Structure 1
Amino acid sequence: MSSPAERYAAAKKRAAEAKTELYGFRQQLSFELDDFQIQACTELEKGRGVLVAAPTGAGKTVVGEFAVYLALKRDGKCFYTTPIKALSNQKFQEFVEKYGADRVGLLTGDTSINSEADIVVMTTEVLRNMLYADSDTLRGLSFVVMDEVHYLADKFRGAVWEEVIIHLPQTVQVASLSATVSNAEEFGGWLDAVRGDTAIIVSEHRPIPLYQHVMVGGRIVDLFAEDVSFDEAGTEQRRESLTVNPELLRIARHDRATTLTRSGRGGSSRRDREEFRASRGGKAYDRSRNGGRGGGRGDDRGRPGNDRRYDKGERGNSWEATEESPRFNVSRPQMIRALDKAGLLPAIVFIFSRKGCDGAVSQCVRSGLKLTTDRESREIAAIVDDAAKDLNPSDLDVLGFWSWRDGLINGFAAHHAGMLPVFKEVVEKLFAEGYIRAVFATETLALGVNMPARSVVLEKLVKFNGEEHVQITPGEYTQLTGRAGRRGIDVEGHGVVLWQPGTDPAAVAGLASKRTYPLNSSFRPTYNMSLNLTAQFGRERGRGILESSFAQFQADRSVVGLARKVRSREESLAGYAESMQCHLGDFSEYAELRRQLSNAEKNASSSERRIRRGAAAASLEGVSRGDVLLAKGPRGVVRCVVIETSQSLRDPRPTVLTDDGKIKRLSPMDIDGPVVIHERLRMPKNFTGRSPRERRDLASSLRNLLQDKRPPKNFDRAFKFSGSEQYDAEIARLQRALRQHPCHGCSDREDHARWAERWWTLRKETDQIKAQIGGRTNTIAKTYDRVCAVLNHYGYLKLDHELDNEGYLGLNNPGGAAEESAATAEAALAADGAALISQAGQRLRRIYGERDMLTSLVLESGVLENLDPEELAAFITTLVFQAKREERLVDVKLPSPAIHDAWDITVREWSELTDLEEVHHLPQTAAPELGLVWPMFHWARGKDLRDALNGTDLAAGDFVRWAKQVIDSLDQLAKVPGLSPKFAKTCRKAVDLVRRGVVTHTGLGEVD
């Protein structure tokens, strides 16, 4: 029992707490706050900024909601920023329900509701644009919540977060909410340096324990030998003592042995077979552990209990296997049934493929799987039909509405970026209300949207990153599995990895226990950013602001570690130099001769290749439709007929039909020298190559022609040339010098040479590190100078000193002169001096996007003035759309001559811009894309969705997403200062043409 003094002190503390704003806020909540939430809210009330880093589902947003509460209590304003529109819509609805529609606004680029409200939810880009425009809406702003702030690592949009943090007035308190990152102290240190007093609150504790499993053939097996949660597995002490479940190791050995048997490279041993039999009675996950059938069907749907018990020795009924043919894999319907049986529904199954997600739903529908009652099915149907009531009936089929509806009625759905936004929102609503028990999703669901589940399944641990298939990182694993465990409903969550052939349990355990996922800046100055900085702050202050970025902060800190590496390598270099000493002479001199000889031989070879490819490219530029071509390729003679020439200014690849009936683009890389025009072949009228019969008939004609005529006499001679003659004399000289060197006769010559090679390799690495150290000083500001030099070249940014004869610095000389001029321009721009922004520069300040400079150059050319609204809507897609690598169109017939003219100018401007960027060592602007031109042209002309997407692989949801970005871009152009009223009117008309039907459809409270 406490003493009177202790009771008095406690009472005094309670009385003091009751006077705080946090006390009033807590009275509104239906749950108790965790320690990290109390700490963060207390720091906010003290007037400090906060960085809160905690696992997904831990309740970080409570801190953001307290910032909103504080702003209202203090008669201030709060901006709540999010990275995606779906999350903005979600938070908007939550705040409207809590504070009323009159006090809450929403700004998402193409949506503006009550923008002067006390609470405004917005995407981060909107706030960035406000700061650059010095918007009146910023007046009275006291708090900014940056939800999902770890998104600043995103290479495409992450820089916006840093821009906002740097430019916000110092009077604004910032609450930054981040997923767990391993360098939170570093990021918090930067926030403290840039924003002032910032508290760093890190919690790795999950309020709902997460347990890790592997599903093998429908049976759920614990990942670790011990009964350990995600929190415990990540601690340093437990991580060292953790062991993988021996049963999984036995299964892995048997899996490998079975694979070898089937490939004819061996068989499973007796021991393997015995261990496999024993594993069937091993440690498995029992459905009684989570309460049996029922799978989390909500409060009135028989939610299962959460007692944790193991069944030692019972084999899961769905795992059917024999020693000869073990069934480690399960179908998706079998997987869902196994989860349901174990009481682990609702579940999110992450499949890193849109088609995979849709295919999973189709498989479940075809299998007859049903996870809902008849009453639930009727309720779902009513909700779905109400959401779709305003959709054009003719669009429903192309939207995949009926198959989507069938899945929902039975309790499962897909969720990915290719879906119509309202479809995704229906899925989110039904899942949150307990109607849907299984969602097959891509990783985009892991970001922001509130859809917790009892369990999360990872179908694979490999994903395609746009270029190659890579293993998911520990950070991604944590983010994905973090969805498991519903606060206030479940007492535990479950992460399940689906067994795939070749699964390594140790690797899975490593992902589940590793806690190193750093937050790295993706920040770099863009053309738009650089102009806005210069306009607002001048060049010198602008450079200083950029030097305060998190990217520079990280670069400066890394220099210490790099210097340590240099010292270590210098010691090793001294040892290598001693080991290569030769008693006959200077071996370093001899080694240098060997290296020069090797380089000369390589240069001779590469020179010949370049000459051959140059000759090949030149010959391809001169071909015409119907030309029969002969060329030598890596696999023999290429024989083909040209069916279409390239219209591209930079890509001479013609489309050809080979003598075996295949259509391909013939590239200089496909042939070893120039093509020879052998003959002319009369092409069938209206030949398209789309039908197999057309291709067969033309290929037959080609073969008949080639059979009758021999190759021309000059065919072989065309390939008998060499580009290495200029190197022959140098090679001969070096060979003589090498033989005459004293060290050439050393009996230990090759041993010395190995040490010399090691010395040279380490010397290059050391010099590179030294260059990194030099280069990381003021790296961001140096990039800013290079960007400004490009702006200067185009006349967007002018200086009042060191000007050339035309009034501003420019790059007018080719080759080395361009390099020298670039360096001069950058040096001048780094110097003191008043920077002047031209009218074109002022217009570029209002153009935001990945291709901001290219868009501005095309705009300044005047070619857009010649487009009508339909053509403008279609053409703008070339500056907005980003196709996947496999979907890119190099050449396509365009809808109108006016669009064709605009495209030609765009390609020319892009070519010149990227050449200039290469000179200035800047990342190259993404190429314009043709893939959305026709669909948008059809849509702007009033065609329905089916006709607009006909002949493309574009998903309806993707089309809607890109259409909204086209609207945003057109809206920007309509507001660019200094353009003709006619063009602004055309932009607005184009917006009206695009903004119709499914593009503007809203449902279930979504605001668009």
Structure 2
Amino acid sequence: MSLSPAERLVAAKRRNRYPLASEFSGRYEFPFDDFQTISCQHVEDGKSVLVAAPTGAGKTIVGEFAAFLAEQKGQRCFYTTPIKALSNQKFAELCKVHGEANVGLLTGDSSVNGDAPIVVMTTEVLRNMIYARREGIENLGYVVMDEVHFLADKFRGAVWEEILIHLPERIQVISLSATVSNAEEFGAWLKSVRGETEVVLSEIRPVPLYQHILIGNRLLDLFVDDGRVNPELIRLERSSARRIPGSSRTGGRSFSSIKAPTRPEIIWKLHERQYLPAIYFIFSRAGCDAAVTQCIRDGISLTTSDEREIIQAVIARKTSELPHEDFGILGFHEWSQALERGIASHHAGLLPMFKETVEELFQQGLIKLVFATETLALGINMPARTVFLEKLIKWNGESHVAVTPGEYTQLTGRAGRRGIDIEGNAVVLWSEQIDSSLAAGLASTRTYPLKSSFSPTYNMSANLISRFGKERARKSLAASFAQFQADHSVSGLLKQIAKNEDALSRVSGEGACHLGDFSEYMMHRFAIKKLEQSASQRPGRGERRRNRRDIEEEISFHRKELKSHPCHQCPDRENHARHHERGERLLRETDGLRSRMENRTNVIPRTFDRVSAILEELGYVQGEKLTDKGISLTRIYAESDLLLTEMIFQDLFAAISPADLVGLLSGLIFEGRGERSKIPRIPKSLDNSVRACISTWSKLVYLEEGEGLNPQREPNFDLAWSSYRWANGNSLHSILRETEIPVGDFVRNMRQIIDLLGQLMSARSELTALTREAIKRIDRGVVAYSAVVA
């Protein structure tokens, strides 16, 4: 459509005002959406921005513009991501645009060209740089925080807030978020800590998403044109319910006459409807692997001979460093056979190089179907034509819980590839547990607020005291998004308290009696009611049953007092009583509101005070200064930061072998997926060290509970034997056949131990030789190859 002369004039003026944004957009073959254009213009104006838009909408364009601006102005740009896989992906993309010499990568595993003008890094790396006051921040002009909504993550979310609070205010921050319902609140907080920040929202998906339900062998739209749930779907659900006579009071139990399709039948249905490539979410690693096996057994193949040749070449390139003797234990042949057929699984238990291979092949359109856990939805660029959900219940690490509307949106947001598909499809498999009303509720809910999970840790507190002193550190934590949200909720509580107090003043007047003190009269009524309840209740464990006669005597006393009271003769007595009872309820409610307000007022600084009290008691802080112990703590970023530092200063690593060190550290990072072993297998040489570690942890828990803090996680030594053997040179095959841990988990845990060893070396220089030898022993084979950026 051609522009009118007036529209052309406006466009020309805008280009003149924003020459860099215009030059940048001209490099792309497609026109920018309004939210992309507006966001880039705000950045060129020197402002920070919060961009909240649906998955796949193209938010990263704004982040890439920041990198472009940095290059143009001779400044640096840090592009942060929540996970290493996303960092690797963004690194490869930016290298193609800016050249390998101009782009670096810093993750826990990799350090490539870290002094480059544009550096991609995981969020924790930037946080550590800020605390260490490294030189790289001097010429830093822009920080991109991709997937900034991760600050809601209860395990890692605090890192995002630490950066946003403590990054120098002169640096522009480009925050990229999924759609959240309180983006304006988040934006208001960003303005309070970062200065001028513009909020740009977009609800528009570039590729429309259509919701469907697979019920039996019929694939139906979830909604009709006017937004109602499909009447045909409701009719099918109702007609499918039948009764089996002769069981239960209702005359029978219900069952569904709808036969659930098998996974192969589902795949052929998607293939028939041209809904492939698809991501098929199964919230279980074993379920994903079993689904692939089932497809192979049923002879499903979704690729051409030409595609199979390309797949084989990619597999050969990606796994060229993999030792052939490990092929069997890794299930290499079964995995590659499935890939050649266009089918794969994707979950955290896979070997990292296997996962990377699947991601590359899927992005090229060579893998047509991926069975995945929800980890695939965490930012990795793997869009599909269709997303299929087999269940809407998932394991959250502690229990089975329902998928939330926000999670549903994140998962289904992968459907629809910009520039390829004209529409995306989300399909839910119907069952008696997953009916149309549940699916419709998830698909139509648009309220998923971003809630802070921020809380001061020992390492964070030590770093802040080191940098600012205790009082300024306390004030800086009051600037957190968690405290910002708590303060807003306090404002709401204050309004409710004021309403209650107003109502109380009215009720007090209406409950007054001209004959006497009605409160005194009601005291006797309440006493009688409480005594009668006490007489009818069984005593709790350890409580002595009160003598029945004593209770009856007390009741008799209060009844006499009641009848002799002047207010007993009042004709409006029951009306006064109703007002008085309402006043009592209002008083209780108001006291509860005040208690909640007290708990939320300065909640983050008060938590910092409790953490500081423990640090002082254990000798990490003296006055406003850190001791040697405190300085070491500033360099330990692990979840068990305080426990590890205590172990250092108890000399638990002084006379220990490298293999023993690896086994001991495994207890601080390992989180098993099943039940813990009652008696984990531990090398004899580690017995005393493990006992000392558990004893130290117990003492810390005692201190933490005394201060009202959540205790640090208990050490888990279920991986100690396997990690000890790996450090002693045993083969991967011999280790994995003795344990149920998947190879991907084993590799990830070894890499976490390597990271912890690096922190240990930084915290205590006298441990350098020991930690280097330990790293050398475990950074081998598949563990070493998994750190390589392919």
Per the normalisation by structure 1, the TM-score is 0.73
One-letter identity of the residue aligned with 2:265: Q
Which residue is 1:248 aligned to? 233
C-alpha separation in 2, matches of 1:4 and 1:510: 44
Inter-partner Cα distance in structure 1 for 2:292 and 2:4? 65
Does residue 538 in structure 1 map to residue 469 in structure 2? yes
Answering whether residue 763 of structure 2 is matched by residue 976 of structure 1, we say yes
Give the 5 Å matches for 1:371-450: 371-450=302-381
Structure 1 position 901, deviation (Å): 1.2
| Contact 1:964-1:999 within 8 A present in 2 as well | yes
**Structure 2 counterpart of 1:230:** none
Contact 1:521 1:550 in 2 (8 A): yes
Match of 2:399 among 460, 468, 476: 468
Matched residue type, 2:142: F
Contact 1:415–1:441 under 8 Å retained in 2 = yes
Within the candidate set 661, 664, 667, 1:872 is matched to 661
Q: Cα distance 1:888–1:267, how it changes in 2: closer, same or farther (>3 A)? A: closer
Q: Count the aligned residue pairs.
A: 778
2:575 & 2:227 partners in 1: Cα distance? 46
Other-structure match for 2:636 = 847
Confirm or deny: 8 A CA contact 1:600 1:730 kept in the other structure: no
- Which of the residues 663, 668, 679 maps onto 1:891? 679
The separation in 2 between residues aligned to 1:596 and 1:52, in whole angstroms, is 61
Which amino acid is the alignment partner of residue 302 of structure 2? L
Q: Tell me if the contact between 2:48 and 2:198 (Cα under 8 Å) persists in the aligned partners.
A: yes
Q: Is the CA contact (8 Å cut-off) linking 1:484 and 1:493 kept in structure 2? A: yes
Q: Spell out the pairing of 1:61-210 with structure 2 (5 A cutoff).
A: 61-210=60-209
Matched residues in 2 for 1:202 and 1:4: separation?
Answer: 28
- 1:764 positional shift: 4.6
The CA distance in 1 between the partners of 2:53 and 2:471, in whole Å, is 38
* Corresponding position of 1:695: none
The answer for the alignment partner of 1:902 in structure 2 is 689
- Matching of residue 992 in structure 1 with residue 781 in structure 2: no
Moved more, 381-390 or 24-33: 381-390
Supply the AA of the counterpart residue of 1:794: L
State the distance in 1 between where 2:335 and 2:560 align: 77
Change (3 A) 1:728 1:5: closer
Q: How far apart are 1:196 and its partner, in Å?
A: 0.5
The reply to whether residue 24 of structure 1 matches residue 43 of structure 2 is no
Q: CA deviation at 1:113?
A: 1.3
The 8 Å contact of residues 181 and 517 in structure 1, kept in 2 or not, is answered as: yes
Separation (CA, whole Å) in 1 of partners of 2:412 and 2:189: 29
Letter in 2 for 1:131: I
Name 1:606's counterpart in structure 2: 541
How far did residue 256 of structure 1 move?
A: 3.6
| Residue aligning to 2:670 | 881
> By how many angstroms is 1:254 displaced?
3.0
Distance 2:488 2:433 in 1: 40
- Give distance in 1, aligned partners of 2:521 and 2:490: 35
Report the Cα distance in structure 1 between the residues aligned to 2:470 and 2:518, rounded to whole angstroms: 60
Q: Which residue of the partner structure matches residue 777 of structure 1? A: 601
Give the direction of change, closer, same or farther, for the CA distance of 1:178–1:12 in structure 2 (3 Å limit): closer
Deviations 1:774-795 (A, max 9, x none): 2222111111111000101101
SS at match of 1:252: helix
SS class of match (1:586): helix
Describe the shift of the 1:80–1:785 C-alpha distance in structure 2 as closer, same or farther (beyond 3 A): same
Do the aligned partners of 1:584 and 1:743 also contact (CA within 8 Å) in 2?
Answer: no
Give the Å deviation of 1:602: 8.9
Q: Deviations over 1:580-609 (max 9, x none)?
A: 9999973445535765897899996333xx
Supply the distance in 2 between the matched residues of 1:252 and 1:580 (Cα, whole angstroms). 59
Q: Unpaired segments of 5 or more residues in structure 1?
A: 227-240, 270-323, 608-723, 800-834
Q: Which residue of 1 aligns with 2:612?
A: 788
Counterpart amino acid of residue 123 in structure 2: T
Give the counterpart of 1:586 among 516, 521, 527: 521
CA distance in 2, matches of 1:170, 1:602: 63
Q: What residue number does 2:789 align with?
A: 1007
Deviation of the 1:400 alpha carbon: 2.1
- Which amino acid in 2 is paired with 1:797? V
Partner of 1:321: none
TM-aligned CA deviation for residue 197 of structure 1 = 0.4
Cα distance change on mapping 1:773 and 1:11 into 2, 3 Å:
closer
Work out which of the residue numbers 742, 753, 761 in structure 1 matches 2:559. Answer: 742
Could you tell me how far apart the structure 2 residues matched to 1:999 and 1:752 are? 77
Tell me the SS of whatever aligns to 1:866. coil
Deviation at 1:767, TM superposition (A): 2.2
Counterpart residue type for residue 257 of structure 1: R
**Higher relative CO (CA 8 A, sep ≥ 6), structure 1 or 2?**
2
Identity of aligned residues (%): 47
DSSP 3-state at the match of 2:329 = coil
Q: CA separation in 1, counterparts of 2:545 and 2:676?
A: 43
Moved more, 117-126 or 584-593: 584-593
Q: In the superposition, relative to structure 1, how do residues 358 and 2 fare at CA in structure 2: closer, same or farther (>3 Å)?
A: closer
Return closer, same or farther for 1:556/1:14 CA change in 2, 3 Å cut-off. closer
What is the Cα-based RMSD across aligned positions, in Å? Answer: 3.2
Once the two structures are superposed, residues 74-99 of structure 1 have per-residue CA deviations (whole angstroms, 9 ceiling, x without a partner) of 00000000000000001111111221
Alignment of 1:522 with 2:521, yes or no, is no
The farther-off stretch of 147-156 and 30-39 is 30-39
Task: Check the 8 A contact 1:51/1:175 in 2, yes or no.
Answer: yes
**Do structure 1's residue 366 and structure 2's residue 190 form an aligned pair?**
no
Q: TM-score, structure 2 length as denominator?
A: 0.92
Structure number with greater Rg is 1
Please tell me whether the aligned partners of residues 328 and 499 of structure 1 are also in contact (alpha carbons under 8 angstroms). Answer: no
Do the aligned partners of 2:392 and 2:434 also contact (CA within 8 Å) in 1?
no
Q: Which moved more, 1:368-377 or 1:540-549?
A: 368-377
Q: Which residue of 1 aligns with 2:489?
A: 558
Q: How far is 1:728 from its partner? A: 5.1
Tell me how far 1:40 sits from its aligned partner: 0.3
What is the identity, as a one-letter code, of the residue corresponding to 1:955?
P
CA offsets per residue over residues 342-371 of structure 1, 9 Å max, x none?
011001111111111111111111111111
Name the residue aligned to 1:932.
Answer: 719
Structure 1 stretch displaced more, 942-951 or 408-417: 942-951
3-state secondary structure, aligned to 1:257: strand
Match runs of 1:888-967 below 5 Å:
888-897=676-685, 899-967=686-754
